Every structure is written in C-alpha cells, then in structure tokens.
Amino acid sequence: MWVLFLGDVVGKPGRKAVAEFLSRLRNVRDVDLVIANGENLASGMGMTEASVREMFDAGVDVLTGGNHVWDKKEGAPLVRSDERILRPANYPPGVEGRGWGLFRGRSGTPYAVVSLIGRVFMGGYDCPFRWADAVLPEIRKSAACVVVDFHAEATSEKRALGLYLDGRVSAVAGTHTHVQTSDAERLPKGTGYITDAGMCGPRGSIIGMDPQGVLRRFLLQVPTRFEVASGEPEASGVFFDLDPGDGGCRAVQPFRVSETTMRGKEPWKTFSSP
C-alpha cells in the first residue's frame, strides 16, 4: 500500500501546490493514505480553520504538527477538536490535543500516524526516543503500519531516531527544515526513511519565505518580518510502499514537482523522482 507524505505546507503557495498536484500524485502510485505536515499552513506560521479545510478538501487525510502549531489563535482549538490534526506527541503531559492517531486508508487498511518533535536546537521537549519506547508497543497492537513524522532541526537527531526505530515502525519522515534531502532509503531492518521530506511552497524562496526579508536579517542582524514568497507552487514529499501484513517498507521514492519540472511530460505518466 502506498502512503504519500507531503513536506511542510507553507502558506498560500503551499496550499495551492497541494490543491493542484495531490490528485495527480495519488494516481501516480494508487495512494492509500495522505499525510502532510501542516504547522506552516497559514501565512507560513501556524494554522487556521480555513487553511485546514483547504487541505482536507484537497484530499489530505492527516495533518501532523510541530513547534508552530500554536502560532495562530485557532491552532489550539483545532488541535483539540479535530482528531485528524496531530501535535507532537512528546510535548509535556497536559498539553491539549493528541500526538498520534489511527486512520483508515482508502483500502480500509489501518495506519498509525505519529507526530514527534526533536530537541536539538529546538526546545526542552520530552525525549522522543523514550516516548517511542514507552508507547510504540501499544500502538503496534492496533496497526501494523506506523508512520512517524519527526519534526526536528538536526540531521544527526533525525538519523539517530530513524535507526533507533528501524524495524519497529514502517517509515520515518523528517520535517521542519523545508529542504528535501537526498538520503531516502530502506533502513537495514525494513523501515523507510528520509531525513527531510522538503516543503510544499513557492519555488525561488528561502525555505518558503521571500528572499528580501531573509537576506535583510542575515545582512543587518536586526529583527525582520518574514513574508511567504509568491513564487510558483511546488510540492515535495515522499512515497512509501508499506506491507499491510508486517508493516515493513518495500520501497521509498521522494519527489519534487511543479508545473515547470513536469512540463513536456505526458500527464504524469513518465513520473520519476529527481
């Protein structure tokens, strides 16, 4: 069964990319479940009811989170009320919302989706490694296929968690940096892995933001308001082919697509990862 994981969806261009490309991406691999990181949905920071609705209307099944989930006032109520929206599971006890859930794919196959957040250069969250040790045995009783979104800054921490969970989950997809890495693989014990799935957002930007504001920050070292760039919508992510029997990953295929990159190809029939 193919699971489609979309990198961080950044602002209006990211939402437009999902709306434009998701149906075609679904057909490319007969996708059973779609997961997207939604912490940057609204103006690049946080989420609103309208931006969340756009994602579900476009065909996203589950939205995972990160440190920006709370940036808009609507974030907490959304996390609290909609079971399809996950915040990182290793926030301290008492934080509203939930960090993992069970979802049915189009085929009826059950999937467990887990949202975790890293600690290196990030914050004082509970240990994602020990959280997994404590909770994964219970999760595996309900679903053979377990997909983890690890929202973290450091490549080393993401790689470490991937290897730590190898053979215990179906796939680990890193998010947060908005830059797709070229290390997609099946780990030795059968877990699909990529350090960062990339982003759905504007081409020609600096991780989704308008270059002028970001450059001003680097050059002048003064507080600068960042605005989502207005470039051509682009979608990045990864396909995982999961075995519904034992939960192992049979194949991993990253992608990065826009109208420019797909121009001249028959309606996605010749699709291949870059």
Q: Write out the catalytic residue numbers.
A: 68
Are 227 and 12 within 8 A, CB to CB? no
- CA 247 vs CA 83, 130, 162, 166, 239: distances in Å: 23, 21, 15, 12, 15
Could you tell me the CA-to-CA distances from 153 to 53, 145, 158, 227, 262 in Å, in that order? Answer: 28, 25, 8, 21, 30
Q: 67-93 b/e with 16+ CB inside 10 Å = b?
A: bbbbbbebbeebbeeeebbbbbbbbee
Distances (CA, A) of 219 to 51, 54, 124, 211: 33, 36, 30, 12
Bridge partners of 257? Answer: 235
Burial tier of 26 (Cβ tally within 10 Å: 0-12, 13-18, 19+) = middle
